[in-house]
Chain A
Amino acid sequence: MISALWLKRAKLIFLLMITVPLLTGCWDRIELERRAILLGIGVDEAPRAAGNTEKNVTYLKKPPVSGMIMITAQIAIPGRIPLGHGQGSGAKPGPEKPVWVVSSTGVTIDDALMNMQQKVAYRLFYGHLRAIVISEAIAKKGVHDLNDFLRRNSEVRRTAWMMVSSTKAALAMRAAPPLERVPTLYLTGMMDEAVRLGKLPNMILGRVWAAASSKGEEPILPYVEVSKNNVLIGGLAYFKGDKMVGRTNPIEIGIVMELRKVKHGGYSLLTPIPGTSAGAVMVEVTYRKAKIEVDMRNGQPHVTAKVHIEGNIVEKISEQVKVNDQPIVKTIEKEFSKKLEQGQRDLVKKTQQQGSDIFGFGERVRGKFPQYWNQQVQNKQKWEEVYKNIAIDTDVTASLRRQGMKAR
């Protein structure tokens, strides 16, 4: 009897011994205050001499790679990040700033970040990295190495935004727009909102990477211009492989979105009214519908893009002209279509000259004509060449449905 009881107890103790270690919680636990949470980073080229200010952190004597970059990071200061919008948005000057801007240089991304780690007490944490701003110079040199680092790191989210800055990326990190207390959140909020307004294609990091890998499409990134205290979306930077080869105007973002079949309309076009001396109307695009067809003509792919635009008249210039009957609306629609078609043709030509198929026509060719693709094209580099010479027709129709509260 007693031995049975003891056996039972021994079993219980054994059970406790093996289960208690399982209840101890997380080995990887790091308190919030002990993380240096990076919210945004800016990547710039740095002059070679800047290397002297940093110590050898990731190499012994001479780095095996050339080049020098500078990383400027916004690190969140725990406790100063406002929770929600209630407690006073609007950046206060001075020590109340919720982020700490640190910069460091290095020969590679990780080298620069390790240099930064030497300056920052707590472990750099990339889980909340929302914005990666790169300078135009870096974008033109190629973003492969940067993307390689970001892809490898398991903390980096594919939902972050990457953008190209006309000025130094460091400026974008230091700019503090007054609408939001955390500058990076303003920056990403701006991008998200632009997507919602139909002013920017949704090119979050994951999508950019997918476009960069796919054989028949080139990536695009938002192109931002930074002034002292604000940032504006100045167009799209378009790439060929991992190198930036050009940029568009803001209005051309709308054209890119049309040809990429984004339905939600956003941009307006100032359209002259034919037959009048100075008459013009502002046409606001509310909805875009695109049909893109690819067929083979004489053994060459031929793209036909049919775009239909729904729009409203939101502004009229010149007192003399009236927009109160069907014929005049029809003329405006026709003129609008003509102008837009011209814009599309120009942009397509521009990208063709660079061999940068940002509309993803190549993906359509690959998907619909695998035989042609496998024989003539095969890879991304070849498509970049083929794209330069294919015929792309565009055809725009428009319907202007409403004219606002005014009758004429």
Chain B
Amino acid sequence: MEYPREITVIQAAAILSSTIIGVGVLALPRFAVQAGDTGAPLVTLSGIFLASLGLLLITILGMRFPNQSLIQYSENVLGKISARLGSVLIILFFTLLTALTAREFGEVVVTSVLRRTPLEVTVVVMLLLAMIPTRNNITIFAYIHHFYLPLMVAPALLIVVLSLQNANPLHLQPLWPENMAGALQGTLTISALFQGSFIMTLVIPAMRRPKKALRASFWGMAIAGGVYFLTVIAAVAVFGPEEIKQLRWPTLDLARSTSLPANIVERVDAPFLIVWVTAVFTTLFSSYYLTVHSMSELFRLRDHKMFSLFMLPFVFVIAMQPENLQQLYSLIVVIGRLGLWLTIAYPAVLLVAALIRKRRGSAA
């Protein structure tokens, strides 16, 4: 399948960041604090490094096979049967991820904002919103991400800066997490929040100059990682680790307790939620696009539009499966960690195999 080759480095970086920044940001400080108490920022940082490692592998692979996506070149590297098995797992994983993202979004909305709107309505509307633009090709996909990224990052940074008025530096001390085993677990959980970076496997073959993919990966990860890191610092500095453990969505509470100077806006949670809905949309959009696109590649179809609508009921039904919030979050953590096998270990295997068997794609 031929790709249009129009994506620039900046667009690729924008796709990465806006895909990564998503629902996860709400619970992120709690995950980090549960793992490392006051060492939360450090745990977050190591999570970001682990995620960067995965992204690095994917990018190197993508530059080695600049004309193909992972689904396509894996067959070349591993042989048809095992590669297809891997592809099926990846598709399943991203279907699950899409469903869980939509559900987490729905739960936040039902709990905190629209309490009488049925969960199903919120989830379906969001999935429809994500589904409709996935019918477009990757160039438009890139434009949409590029358009929304500044609208997401700027307000997020503003909220972080404003909330620091209430910060207490003592809440961040000591810097080192006390419990190393817990910190390692937390590293895995947090790096699982960055799995959207897998979208890079689709982006590289569509880049105008795939050789610059590494630069795009770096900036994409730097922006998303920076936003996540600052969010954790702000939340921990304002609330303190023990308080965060009591909060379901610390970042939302951070926005709720922050006000613009001089009472211009008494609470910034309304603008925050708007930003956040955009962030969730771009994340869902990417994971849905990845699922649908990978499927069409696996089945060697010219067009992925058919799957867009076809997958919707499946994603919706999966999203409705968790019985309650507790189950949803334990699923998110477990599936996220298992996903690391697919988004970090699998690319590593592919890269090693490609090096040993000296497989290489044709030049762009």
Q: Hey, which bits of chain A sit against chain B, CB under 8 A?
A: 18, 22, 26-28, 151, 154, 157-159, 206-207, 209-210, 213-215, 360, 363-364, 366-368, 370, 374
B115 touches which of A22, A28, A159, A207 (Cβ 8 Å) = A28
> Shortest CB–CB separation between residue B312 and chain A, in angstroms?
11
Is B115 touching A360 in the complex (CB atoms < 8 A)? no
Is B121 touching A27 in the complex (CB atoms < 8 A)? yes
Is B178 touching A374 in the complex (CB atoms < 8 A)? yes
The digit string for B113-127, where 1 denotes a CB below 8 A from any CB of A, is 111111001000100
The digit string for B157-178, where 1 denotes a CB below 8 A from any CB of A, is 0000000001010110110101
Q: When chains A and B are docked, how far (Å) is the Cα of A369 from the Cα of B239?
A: 20
Residues of chain A within 8 A of B66, CB atoms compared: none
Is A210 touching B178 in the complex (CB atoms < 8 A)? no
Is B243 touching A26 in the complex (CB atoms < 8 A)? no
The digit string for B167-200, where 1 denotes a CB below 8 A from any CB of A, is 0101101101010000000000000000000000
Please tell me if B246 contacts chain A, counting CB pairs below 8 Å.
yes
Residues of chain A within 8 A of B38, CB atoms compared: 367
Please tell me if B267 contacts chain A, counting CB pairs below 8 Å.
yes
Is B267 touching A28 in the complex (CB atoms < 8 A)? no
Question: Which residues of B (112-169) have their CB < 8 Å from a CB of A?
Answer: 112-118, 121, 125, 128, 132, 166, 168
Is B243 touching A209 in the complex (CB atoms < 8 A)? yes
> Shortest CB–CB separation between residue B76 and chain A, in angstroms?
39
User: With A28-B114, A215-B242, A367-B173 known to touch, is A206 a contact of B257 (CB < 8 Å)?
Assistant: yes
Residues of chain A within 8 A of B243, CB atoms compared: 209-210, 213-214
Question: Which residues of B (213-269) have their CB < 8 Å from a CB of A?
Answer: 238-240, 242-243, 245-246, 253, 256-257, 259, 266-267
Is A28 touching B116 in the complex (CB atoms < 8 A)? yes
Is A154 touching B115 in the complex (CB atoms < 8 A)? yes
CB nearest neighbor in A for B269: A157
Is A370 touching B240 in the complex (CB atoms < 8 A)? no
CB nearest neighbor in B for A207: B166
- Interface size classification for chain B: 20 to 34
Q: When chains A and B are docked, how far (Å) is the Cα of A364 from the Cα of B166?
A: 17
Residues of chain B within 8 A of A214, CB atoms compared: 171, 240, 242-243
Please tell me if B111 contacts chain A, counting CB pairs below 8 Å.
yes
Residues of chain B within 8 A of A363, CB atoms compared: 168, 170-171
Is B267 touching A159 in the complex (CB atoms < 8 A)? yes
Residues of chain A within 8 A of B115, CB atoms compared: 28, 154
A157 touches which of B118, B121, B173, B267 (Cβ 8 Å) = B267
User: With A360-B170, A363-B170 known to touch, is A210 a contact of B240 (CB < 8 Å)?
Assistant: yes
The listed residue with most A CB atoms (<10 A of its CB), out of B111, B117, B173, is B173
The number of A-B residue pairs with CB atoms under 8 Å apart is 70
Is A213 touching B246 in the complex (CB atoms < 8 A)? yes
> Shortest CB–CB separation between residue B168 and chain A, in angstroms?
8
User: With A367-B170, A367-B174 known to touch, is A154 a contact of B112 (CB < 8 Å)?
Assistant: yes
Q: Hey, which bits of chain B sit against chain A, CB under 8 A?
A: 38, 111-118, 121, 125, 128, 132, 166, 168, 170-171, 173-174, 176, 178, 238-240, 242-243, 245-246, 253, 256-257, 259, 266-267
Is A151 touching B240 in the complex (CB atoms < 8 A)? no
CB nearest neighbor in A for B109: A28
Task: Apart from A363-B168, A366-B170, A370-B174, list 20 A-B contacts with CB within 8 A.
Answer: A27-B114, A28-B114, A28-B115, A28-B116, A154-B112, A154-B115, A158-B253, A158-B256, A159-B259, A159-B267, A207-B166, A210-B239, A213-B242, A213-B245, A214-B240, A215-B242, A360-B170, A363-B171, A367-B173, A367-B174
Is B256 touching A27 in the complex (CB atoms < 8 A)? no
Q: When chains A and B are docked, how far (Å) is the Cα of A128 from the Cα of B268?
A: 15
CB nearest neighbor in A for B169: A367
> Shortest CB–CB separation between residue A90 and chain B, in angstroms?
23
Is B125 touching A159 in the complex (CB atoms < 8 A)? no
B125 touches which of A22, A154, A213, A366 (Cβ 8 Å) = A22
> Shortest CB–CB separation between residue B117 and chain A, in angstroms?
4
Q: When chains A and B are docked, how far (Å) is the Cα of A26 from the Cα of B266?
A: 22
> Shortest CB–CB separation between residue A403 and chain B, in angstroms?
34
Residues of chain B within 8 A of A28, CB atoms compared: 113-117
Is B242 touching A159 in the complex (CB atoms < 8 A)? no
Residues of chain A within 8 A of B239, CB atoms compared: 210, 213
Closest 8 CB pairs of A and B: A367-B173, A158-B257, A213-B242, A27-B117, A370-B174, A213-B243, A154-B112, A206-B257
Q: When chains A and B are docked, how far (Å) is the Cα of A206 from the Cα of B267?
A: 13
25 pairs from A and B in contact (CB 8 Å cutoff): A26-B114, A27-B121, A28-B114, A28-B115, A28-B117, A154-B113, A154-B115, A157-B256, A158-B253, A158-B257, A159-B257, A159-B267, A206-B257, A209-B243, A210-B239, A210-B243, A213-B240, A213-B242, A215-B242, A360-B170, A363-B170, A363-B171, A367-B170, A370-B174, A370-B178
CB nearest neighbor in A for B114: A28
Q: When chains A and B are docked, how far (Å) is the Cα of A22 from the Cα of B253?
A: 28
> Shortest CB–CB separation between residue B174 and chain A, in angstroms?
4
CB nearest neighbor in A for B266: A159
> Shortest CB–CB separation between residue B202 and chain A, in angstroms?
26
User: With A28-B116, A213-B242, A374-B178 known to touch, is A364 a contact of B170 (CB < 8 Å)?
Assistant: yes
Q: When chains A and B are docked, how far (Å) is the Cα of A151 from the Cα of B250?
A: 12
Q: When chains A and B are docked, how far (Å) is the Cα of A363 from the Cα of B37?
A: 13
Q: When chains A and B are docked, how far (Å) is the Cα of A22 from the Cα of B281?
A: 15
CB nearest neighbor in A for B108: A154
Q: When chains A and B are docked, how far (Å) is the Cα of A190 from the Cα of B86?
A: 65
Residues of chain B within 8 A of A209, CB atoms compared: 243, 246
CB nearest neighbor in A for B118: A27
Q: When chains A and B are docked, how far (Å) is the Cα of A363 from the Cα of B243?
A: 13
Q: When chains A and B are docked, how far (Å) is the Cα of A214 from the Cα of B168?
A: 12
> Shortest CB–CB separation between residue A117 and chain B, in angstroms?
15
Q: When chains A and B are docked, how far (Å) is the Cα of A373 from the Cα of B99?
A: 43
Q: When chains A and B are docked, how far (Å) is the Cα of A232 from the Cα of B350?
A: 72
Residues of chain B within 8 A of A367, CB atoms compared: 38, 170, 173-174
Is B170 touching A18 in the complex (CB atoms < 8 A)? no
Residues of chain B within 8 A of A364, CB atoms compared: 170
Q: When chains A and B are docked, how far (Å) is the Cα of A360 from the Cα of B166?
A: 15
